[in-house]
Homo-oligomer: A and B are copies of this chain.
Amino acid sequence: MLKLPHHQVAGHQAGNGKLGPLIDDSGRFYKPLQGDERGSNEVAFYTSFSSNTRIPDHIRRFFPTFHGTQLVEASDGSGLLPHLVLGDLTVGRVNPSIMDIKIGSRTWPPQASEDYIEKCLKKDRKTSTILLGFRLSGLEFYSQKEPGYWKPGRKSVQNLSPEGVKLVLRNFVSSNTTNELEKKPDCSFASIVYGGSTGILSQLLELKAWFEDQTIYHFHSCSIHMMFEKELALEGKNPRAEIKLIDFAHVVEGQGVIDHNFLGGLCSLIKFISEVLTTPDDCPVEVSSNDAKKNRIHPENGVHLH
């Protein structure tokens, strides 16, 4: 009855005897509970969030539907295991293009163990997280019937330079992307996917307004899942652009403080996407690897001692 998801771009993946999420035919997504604190913490978040009356409806729609937890046959054949039961984000979608972006320049909660903090910090510094305030964590771009999807390796997208990220964000909304990153993406769907009153930018701005105010939760290592249907766009129809927040294993209470870490990264992403909309023809010239040593300030005028 349960099967492998078609459109998972990040996280643990089931298949070949591995433990990962499953879906059913009724639009539900089964995510195995990680055995350590992460699993129970994610259930605690969904339980708290789903019963929290302070969450406005226009924000709640950015979160997956929560159907509790359930014991189901694990994908790795290890028997019955507890799973989170969520709404399947891609149900009813035809050939969606998907991008997962892990938000925040810090992916660890302050109260995590020293080992965990060290591991996260190392990765945050190695990837684009510290510089950008986010990192691409997985993507799957539909091009057309042949070759189908372009799905680059996760490692290659995690540590892109700012120029590299700009290029990916442009390719996401281009009609001429095939099975690799197009250096001259046409950005022909930018205005209907990113722009407009129901586009991705508008949704991100709604989320931003909430994050400027909410002090309930701090979302460490949480991702924004973006999706639209290119074939609808090609037919001149609404491409059903949609964002969702996913992955709440490291959410903690806000203690009366806004989630400045998530908010900062979100604003950085908003700036990148705004730039695609304002300068759709202005493609990055060169995609260099991220070299952090480069950016000391070198003013034209040197130091003058009088």
List the interface of chain A (C-beta within 8 A of B). Answer: 40-41, 43-45, 47-48, 51, 68-71, 82, 105-106, 110-111, 121, 125, 130-133, 162-163, 166, 212-213, 215, 217-218, 251-258, 260-261, 263-265, 267-268, 270-271, 292-306
- Judge whether A47 and B252 touch: CB under 8 Å: no
Q: In the complex the two chains form, is A69's CB within 8 Å of B304's CB?
A: yes
Determine the chain B residues whose CB is within 8 A of the CB of A258 once the complex forms: 133, 267-268, 271
Contact of A253 among B70, B257, B296 (CB under 8 A): B296
- Give the docked Cα–Cα distance between A179 and B302 (Å): 46
Residue in contact with A255 in the complex, picked from B68, B105, B125, B295, CB distance below 8 Å:
B295
* A263 with B267: CB separation less than 8 A: yes
Given contacts A44-B298, A264-B261, A268-B258, contact A70 B212 (CB under 8 A): no
User: In angstroms, how far is the closest chain B Cβ from the Cβ of A217?
Assistant: 8
Q: Let me know if A295 and B111 touch, CB within 8 A.
A: yes
The answer to whether B255 and A162 touch across the interface, beta carbons within 8 angstroms, is: yes
Contacts of A40 in B (CB 8 A): 303
Q: Enumerate chain B residues within 8 angstroms of A68, measured Cβ to Cβ.
A: 304, 306
Copies in the complex: 2
Q: Which residue of B lies closest to A40 (CB)?
A: B303
> Which chain B residue lies CB-closest to A70?
B306
Does A295 lie within 8 Å of B252, measured CB to CB?
A: yes
Interchain CA distance A254-B132 in the complex, whole Å: 10
Also in contact, A252 and B296, with CB within 8 A (given A105-B261, A110-B131, A257-B268): yes
> Can you name 24 A-B residue pairings with CB atoms under 8 Å?
A40-B303, A43-B303, A44-B303, A47-B301, A47-B302, A48-B297, A48-B299, A68-B306, A69-B305, A70-B306, A105-B106, A106-B106, A110-B130, A121-B121, A133-B257, A162-B255, A163-B256, A166-B256, A212-B267, A217-B297, A218-B295, A251-B297, A253-B295, A261-B264
Does the CB pair A162–B51 fall under 8 Å? Answer: no
- Output the least CB separation between A44 and chain B (Å): 4
> Contact: B133 with A271, CB < 8 Å?
no
Name the B residues within 8 Å of A292 (CB-CB).
110-111
Within the complex, which residue of B44, B271, B293 is in contact with A213, where a contact is CB–CB below 8 Å?
Answer: B271
Further contacts, 14 of them, CB under 8 A, given A110-B125, A111-B296: A40-B303, A71-B306, A82-B303, A105-B106, A105-B260, A105-B261, A106-B130, A131-B257, A133-B260, A162-B255, A163-B256, A253-B294, A260-B264, A261-B264
Question: Residues of B contacting A255 with CB < 8 Å?
Answer: 131, 162, 294-295
Bound CA–CA A298/B37 (angstroms): 13
Complex interface: chain B residues within 8 A of A163 (CB): 256
